[in-house]
Amino acid sequence: MRKVIISLAPVAGPAPVNPDELATDVVKSVQAGAAMCHLHCKKRTGELTPDTCVIIESFEKICAQTDVVVQASTGGISNMTIEERCNPLEYWRVESASLNGGSTNLGEAVYRNSFDDIRYCAKQCYDREILPETEVFDIGMINNVEMVAKEMPFRDPVLYNLVFGHKGGMQPTMEALSAFRSFVPEGRLWGVTHFGRDNWTFLAAAIAMGATVVRIGFEDSPYLDENTTAKYNYQVVEKLVKLIRSMGLEPATPQEARRILNLAPKSKDNAAHSKCNAAAGCGGKCVGNCTCGGHGHHKEDKNVLNAQALSSVDIESIVRSVITQMK
| Number of residues that this document lists for the chain | 327
pLDDT in tens, 9-41: 999 988 999 999 999 999 999 999 999 999 999
Helix segments in 65-173, DSSP class H = 82-85, 115-127, 139-151
Cα separations (Å) of 298 from 107, 145, 277, 284, 289? Answer: 42, 40, 14, 10, 8
How far apart CA 307 and CA 96 sit, in angstroms, is 27
For the chain, the domain total comes to 1
* Residue-level pLDDT at 180: 96
Residue type, 56: I
φ, ψ for residue 22, nearest 5 deg: -60, -45
Q: For 227-252, what is the mean pLDDT?
A: 98
Question: What does the pLDDT read at residue 24?
Answer: 98
Strand partners, 215: 7
**What pLDDT digit, counting tens, does each position of 166-223 carry?**
999 999 999 999 999 999 999 999 999 999 999 999 999 999 999 999 999 999 999 9
Partnered with residue 36 across adjacent β-strands are: 7, 69
Q: How confident is the model at residue 275 (pLDDT cuts 50, 70, 90)?
A: low
pLDDT band at 266 (very low <50, low <70, confident <90, very high): confident
The domain spanning residue 267 has which CATH number? 3.20.20.70
Instruction: Identify residue 158 by its one-letter amino acid code.
Output: V
pLDDT score of 107: 87
Tell me the average pLDDT of the chain: 88
pTM: 0.88
The pLDDT confidence band at residue 274, using thresholds 50, 70 and 90, is low
pLDDT at 326: 65
The residues, ordered by sequence, that sit 6+ positions from 326 with a Cβ below 8 Å of its Cβ are: 200, 242, 243, 246
Per-residue pLDDT, 305: 42
Q: Is a pLDDT exceeding 70 seen at residue 91?
A: yes
Contacts of 44 (CB under 8 A, 6+ apart): 16, 17, 18, 54, 280, 281, 282
Q: What is the pLDDT of residue 267?
A: 80
Residues 119-139 have pLDDT tens digits of: 999 999 999 999 999 999 999
For residue 293, the model assigns a pLDDT of 45
| Domain, as residue range, for 109 | 3-326
